[in-house]
Structure 1
Amino acid sequence: VEPFMSGLGGAAYVVAHDAATGRTLTLDGAVQLPQAATPDLFELLDPNTQGLGVYGWRATKDNAAETGYRSIAVPGAVATYATLLERLGTMSLADVLVPAIRLAEEGFPVDWYVFANAAISMSRLQAFPHTMATFFKPDGTPHKPSMIDDVLGPDRFKQLELAQTLRTIAAQGPEVFYRGEIGQLIAQHLREHGGVVTTDDLANYQVREREPLWIDYRGKRVAFISRNSGGTTVAEMLNILGGFDLAGLGHNSAAALHLIAEAQRMAYTDRFAYLGDPDFAEIPLAALESAAYAVARRAEINPSGPPSTQAVGDPWPFHAGGRPAQVAPTDGRDAADQHTTHLTVVDRDRNIVSLTASLGQLFGSGVVVPGTGVTLNNGMMWFDPEPGRINSIAPRKRALHAGTPAIVYDGATPFLALGSPGGRKVLTAVQQIIHNVVDFGLGMQEAVSAPRIHCESGVVHMDARLPVETIETVRAMGHAVSVREEHFLSSYFARPNAIMIDHAAGVLRSGLEPYKLSTAVGY
């Protein structure tokens, strides 16, 4: 249970497979900026003296783009869940919400994971009294987990206001969140505290249902979300690497990791240069997702090293619309860890849901709306606050998010579903798990728990579990290397989970992140 990572006030992204029809569905439930989100909404600080924001962009005065009322964008999660249920569900919304209502009302025993995330967020949340009252004990301390020789056991964490909100949604449907009493409570509270989301912004929100982005990789078909997720970028990575014999180089060999790092760096450089909301700029999506463009990028890689320059690619010759007027790229510095939830579900009929949901940072904006129990996102942080860039702030613009839910098919038969929390590290985690299964033939748990790398700029971050000889060989090839040791509160290499369907044996095989609380349940 991760109420600090995701919730009704956040974003959600879905790739789903309907076994009865063979249809694959994607839902983009990105947060959307309110009408009042103009480019001059935030006062920018000097990056040379005031530091940078969580995504490496210019920081804002009072950290207003990342914490508090002006950091909030219109949430898409409720609309996404309701649309998914309407399209593929077999139960009513009221029935589906019964377990969630019970969990919110009766509570759950606090574990070390909940305790630790609350504790590290205390100083940030103390500016918001109702949030403190919702998530902390009356004396302002976190609810405690079970301790050694603790006769009383762990505290139970309850969310009574949220339980009532869920009951209202169960009775009246998602409309009550966007156009009814819940939406009115949200808008009123934000108006009273300097927020910019209004009832009109909530009423105008729509989840985007689209056909999947399909790519072919080593004879398999991979379904992603295009446009506002990580799908386009991971597709570019896979397309580039499809021209190299990774299996022949060996799993996690220095030669293979060199190529993987090169593809990651190229795809991220293109992401920062070209990706944003396609409703606001000409975006070469089809080109970036194409095998033809990947051939051109692949030619820039020397398999023996040294690494290529961190140059932006030129997808416009592969774009049907031609070359438009240029828009400044967003900044591409390494981002800090982010906080998200990912669920991978396969049922007995082999229907599949890969769902990534997020509030943004821990506890989102830090704001819980009184009377609702809803924790609101800090979706403004997903936009570059510097005006005039491809992913800058603009009214009604949708966020470019790192969520990368995916399903992999053998022909028309799905056999792997996966995704991850972890900010921009999500993309490289999903990419490498696909390599581990498709290229190297690893089992599901081994594919998820194997050491990974991450390269979104000039530095290759390498898991400390990799052999020293491998790390030093990658360094000797000319890469700047940072060795990272993952622990239970870090997210240097994301927190993926996955399910493999073994059709021949008639079983499901899970893969769980070994450093975090992650659970596989089958029945």
Structure 2
Amino acid sequence: MPLKTSSFFFCFTFLFYGLIHADSSSYATRPVVKAKNGMLATSHPLATKIGLQIIKDGGNAIDAAIAANAALGLMEPTGGGIGGDLFAIVWSAKDKKLYGLNASGRSPQLLTWDYFREHNLNRVPYSGPLPVTVPGCVDGWFELHGKFGKLPMKEILAPAIKYCREGFELTPIIARHWSYGDDLIKQPNFASTFFPNGRSPKEGESFKNPDLGNTLEIIAQEGRDAFYKGSLAKRMDAFSKKHGHFLRYEDLASHKSLWVEPLKSNYRGYDIWELPPNTQGIAALQMLNILEKYELRSWGHNSAKTLHHMVEAKKLSYEDRTKYYADPQLSPAPLKGLISKEYADARRQLINSEKVSEHFEPGNPILQNGDTVYLSVGDKEGNMISFIQSNYAGFGSGVVPDGMGFSFQDRGALFNIRDKNHPNAYAPGKLPFHTIIPAFITKDGAPWLSFGLMGGAMQPQGHVQIVCNLIDFDMNLQEACDAPRFRHYGSSTSTGYKMSDSGTLRLEKGVSSESIEKLRSMGHDVRPNSRSGFGGFQGVIWDKENKTYIGASESRKDGHAEGY
């Protein structure tokens, strides 16, 4: 009896002490992961293990990223795959600098502006042949591998090919998203590829995709030209012609990725790096420039005042996103002006600190020259890669070329077909506006954080929340990604929509009722406790002092971080 009494007293004392001394700002659902030799964070546990094994086998961060992405194309086809595009930011330990890759594809030459007019369309549909653009993923793999890779591509793609043929078991979040593909079952080959039993596979069930395995095998053996100029390109061309679609061999054969210079803005001593348009990355830099003059730390994390100014900064930057972000070769944007501190000072003056704004207009910066899967990797040599890849909406277009095991992306749905003079107006052979954005942070010229956050228009506002959580609110990496988020809907878009009613502010569970009521009194249309749409984060920090990596993957996805 005394033992039971003392044990009860010890447990009660421990619990009471924990409640009193717990850090109320800690939102972490798990500890951060630390390791010296390599670190991966992806949205699927098997993809993480595959990438980490590549590093253990002598590969580097770039090899591991390609291997993990190939696996995700099988295991999370609701977000990415070789029918989509990719973007990456690479820290080269040898060169001690960042490189940016834009591996996005162009619209088909056969599909014209007049086609949409003749069919009375004012928006490109999300499914079917009309939103299909050239898949840039495979070329992106080979560009990255050619510049930085170590292991043979055959070895890098071997694990994904093995799982394609032997199968894997579905994780819960991916299984739920898989079921949303019901509306694509009428698209060619979609049901036979992704719904093999007449329905979406359920959590825990095994799924195989031997067609994808065969496609990856050909790519591994014959290289990128097999996909863009060889047997696979010819197969896609024949499929498209058979169904009366628009993509042709010539579109594939002329595809080429672009190496680009990442752009930066300094936020409280940290250099935040994003890629230039056609991505939306610099929207995050514009937001941070506006927020830098505010005392977010003293206002408090997710206080009404902090959230209000973040949302208003988002609305301002998204108006510029609508006007200026497009194919950089056809519609160059005033990039240096958009991310200048002087421009941010002028835009900041438009924010009313006490009341929501129903709409903003795009600014006039000075013209100067100038669903998705994300993963982050660091290796023992000090290379790091921030890597994002996507079909755009879920499975993409739902159009699966005969016997190839993947769905074409629907990125063309983001073209504007209302205004022919808009920078993002549809045209043949043009890059569409892109939502997917990798990000990177350096400090004093050295790498610090490789990170990204999936989720369409959530991404820039998500990037900003992560940066502020880390820098303004002193959270560790896991806390920063698990903390409750906001997502503002209803900003003007590159497809032609114009905001006129301040939009809708959705808040995750964990934002205080006090903040919610104050935001409503300021005019925000607040919708609390929404279940999804807040993105999916992975990140890897290089701890220079302790010479170790710190990894985190958030609880909104199925994956995790792992190192050795």
- Matched with 1:90 is 150
Is the Cα contact below 8 Å between 1:39 and 1:387 reproduced in 2? Answer: no
Is the Cα contact below 8 Å between 1:15 and 1:24 reproduced in 2? Answer: yes
Q: 1:67 to 1:444 in 2, by over 3 A?
A: same
Q: 1:44 to 1:448 in 2, by over 3 A?
A: farther
- Matched with 2:192 is 133
Secondary structure of the corresponding residue to residue 214 of structure 1 = strand
Using the TM superposition, give the Cα deviation of residue 38 of structure 1 relative to its aligned residue in structure 2, in angstroms: 1.6
Whole-angstrom distance in 2 between the partners of 1:5 and 1:125 = 15
Q: Does 1:320 align with 2:368?
A: yes
Q: 1:244 to 1:392 in 2, by over 3 A?
A: same
- Matched with 1:145 is 203
- Matched with 1:518 is 559
Q: 1:351 to 1:440 in 2, by over 3 A?
A: same
TM-score, length-normalised on structure 1?
Answer: 0.87
- Matched with 1:435 is 468
Using the TM superposition, give the Cα deviation of residue 349 of structure 1 relative to its aligned residue in structure 2, in angstroms: 2.3
Q: 1:382 to 1:144 in 2, by over 3 A?
A: same
- Matched with 2:136 is 76
Whole-angstrom distance in 2 between the partners of 1:170 and 1:437 = 40
Q: Does 1:39 align with 2:113?
A: yes
Using the TM superposition, give the Cα deviation of residue 120 of structure 1 relative to its aligned residue in structure 2, in angstroms: 2.3
Whole-angstrom distance in 2 between the partners of 1:206 and 1:372 = 21
Q: 1:483 to 1:80 in 2, by over 3 A?
A: same
Whole-angstrom distance in 2 between the partners of 1:350 and 1:40 = 51
Q: Does 1:112 align with 2:172?
A: yes
- Matched with 1:217 is 267
Whole-angstrom distance in 1 between the partners of 2:343 and 2:118 = 36
Is the Cα contact below 8 Å between 1:40 and 1:387 reproduced in 2? Answer: no
Using the TM superposition, give the Cα deviation of residue 44 of structure 1 relative to its aligned residue in structure 2, in angstroms: 8.4
Whole-angstrom distance in 2 between the partners of 1:260 and 1:275 = 21
Is the Cα contact below 8 Å between 1:343 and 1:419 reproduced in 2? Answer: yes
Match of 1:496 among 537, 547, 555: 537
Using the TM superposition, give the Cα deviation of residue 500 of structure 1 relative to its aligned residue in structure 2, in angstroms: 2.1
Superposed, 1:25-424 pairs within 5 Å as 25-42=99-116, 58-59=122-123, 65-122=125-182, 124-128=183-187, 130-137=189-196, 139-146=197-204, 154=205, 156-303=206-353, 305-308=354-357, 310-316=359-365, 318-320=366-368, 339-388=371-420, 389-424=422-457
Is the Cα contact below 8 Å between 1:240 and 1:297 reproduced in 2? Answer: yes
Q: 1:390 to 1:194 in 2, by over 3 A?
A: same
- Matched with 1:326 is none
Using the TM superposition, give the Cα deviation of residue 129 of structure 1 relative to its aligned residue in structure 2, in angstroms: 5.1
Letter in 2 for 1:482: R
Using the TM superposition, give the Cα deviation of residue 357 of structure 1 relative to its aligned residue in structure 2, in angstroms: 0.6
Match of 1:13 among 80, 84, 87: 87
Greater relative contact order (Cα 8 A, min sep 6): structure 1 or 2? 2
TM-score, length-normalised on structure 2?
Answer: 0.81
Is the Cα contact below 8 Å between 2:77 and 2:394 reproduced in 1? Answer: no
Whole-angstrom distance in 1 between the partners of 2:89 and 2:326 = 20
Instruction: Output one character per residue of 1:229-280: Cα deviation in whole Å (capped at 9) or x when no partner.
Output: 1211111101111122211222222111111111101001111122211322
Letter in 2 for 1:199: Y
Secondary structure of the corresponding residue to residue 562 of structure 2 = coil
Identity of aligned residues (%): 31
Using the TM superposition, give the Cα deviation of residue 35 of structure 1 relative to its aligned residue in structure 2, in angstroms: 1.1
Cα RMSD (Å): 2.0
Is the Cα contact below 8 Å between 1:45 and 1:59 reproduced in 2? Answer: no
Paired positions, count:
477
Using the TM superposition, give the Cα deviation of residue 209 of structure 1 relative to its aligned residue in structure 2, in angstroms: 0.3
Using the TM superposition, give the Cα deviation of residue 43 of structure 1 relative to its aligned residue in structure 2, in angstroms: 5.2
Q: 1:239 to 1:167 in 2, by over 3 A?
A: same
Farther-moved stretch of structure 1 (497-506 vs 447-456): 497-506
Match of 1:505 among 540, 546, 559: 546
Is the Cα contact below 8 Å between 2:304 and 2:519 reproduced in 1? Answer: yes
Instruction: Output one character per residue of 1:356-393: Cα deviation in whole Å (capped at 9) or x when no partner.
Output: 11111121111111132232111221212224123221
Using the TM superposition, give the Cα deviation of residue 46 of structure 1 relative to its aligned residue in structure 2, in angstroms: 8.3
Instruction: Output one character per residue of 1:159-202: Cα deviation in whole Å (capped at 9) or x when no partner.
Output: 11111111111111101111111011111101111211111111
Secondary structure of the corresponding residue to residue 318 of structure 2 = helix
Whole-angstrom distance in 1 between the partners of 2:418 and 2:524 = 30
Letter in 1 for 2:189: H
Using the TM superposition, give the Cα deviation of residue 501 of structure 1 relative to its aligned residue in structure 2, in angstroms: 2.3
Secondary structure of the corresponding residue to residue 515 of structure 1 = coil
Is the Cα contact below 8 Å between 2:174 and 2:558 reproduced in 1? Answer: no
Q: Highest CA radius of gyration, 1 or 2?
A: 2
Whole-angstrom distance in 1 between the partners of 2:426 and 2:406 = 24
Instruction: Output one character per residue of 1:387-432: Cα deviation in whole Å (capped at 9) or x when no partner.
Output: 4123221111112111121111111111111112111011111111
